[in-house]
Amino acid sequence: MAWADLAPKTRAAFDRHVAAVEPEIERRNQPGQTFLWLDQDPKHRAAAAAGEVVVQHVPAPEVPGGQIQHWLGGVFIPGVTLARLLQVDQDYNRHKVLYRPEVMDSRLISRQGDRFRIFLRLHKKKVLTVVLDTEHDVEYRMLSDKKAYSRSISRSVREVKNAGEAEEHVLPDGVGTGFLWAMNSYWRLEERDGGVWAECDAITLAREVPMGLGTVLKPMIYGLAHDSLVKTLEAKRRSVLQPAPR
């Protein structure tokens, strides 16, 4: 697959979009607002309560040289507490165990209170397979004793060539096939109804679809973003329901 390096104008357009949508995402955290997206649609909420992973595509603007994918999804995790979920979430050294196979490696780089810098090696597969070394800044906020919000911003997304082999090497940021250049996630968590509702806004940046390759690349990149959120929500539910390590 031909390379598609990230251009400064493409990254700038993504940053502008994030700056535009973050206030609306943040608005849900304010008193008097509907906190959970799932609560806005009885069918979505009922489906999640029945065990489904519910996801929805959110329209995003076109950007020069790339494409933004914005997906919104949620799950219900029965029989657990918010404290348990946060304990699992913040155990970043174990994400490589809890979130396999999509998370191949993980570690906590640093922590200052409720702010974390973390490393994740990600395995993305949608027809083609891409391995990425990523770093993220993650911040948690307790909105009440039953509600929490977290914001994860990717600071580095580097493609790994020949992962796990003797000739493995990591490319610079923005260099490679361009299936993922940036990824932000915004989590709303609420303990209620005998469990925890967990939902996420996931916003990613990837390469544009070259002329003539739309029928091949567009579904691949679109599906990669969709499948990644579904797998993340499924893995979060699975990991939180596992017995705590002794």
pLDDT at 16: 95
Among 148, 203, 165, CA closest to 181: 203
Question: Would residue 36 count as lying in a domain?
Answer: yes
- Domain holding 83: CATH number? 3.30.530.20
Asked whether residue 170 is assigned to any structural domain, the reply reads: yes
- In-domain check, residue 3: no
Position 246 in a domain: no
Q: Which domain holds residue 124?
A: 8-241
Please tell me whether residue 26 adopts helix, strand or coil conformation: helix
Q: What is the CA 185 to chain-centroid distance, rounded?
A: 5
Residue 27: Cβ-neighbour burial (10 angstroms; 0-12, 13-18, 19+): exposed
Specify the pLDDT at position 212: 47
Residue 159 lies in a domain: yes
> For residue 176, is it within any domain?
yes
The reported pLDDT for the residue numbered 148 is: 98
Number of domains forming the structure of the chain: 1
Ranges of residues in the chain whose predicted pLDDT is under 70: 1-3, 126-127, 209-223, 244-246
Whether residue 164 is contained in a domain is answered as: yes
172 lies in some domain: yes
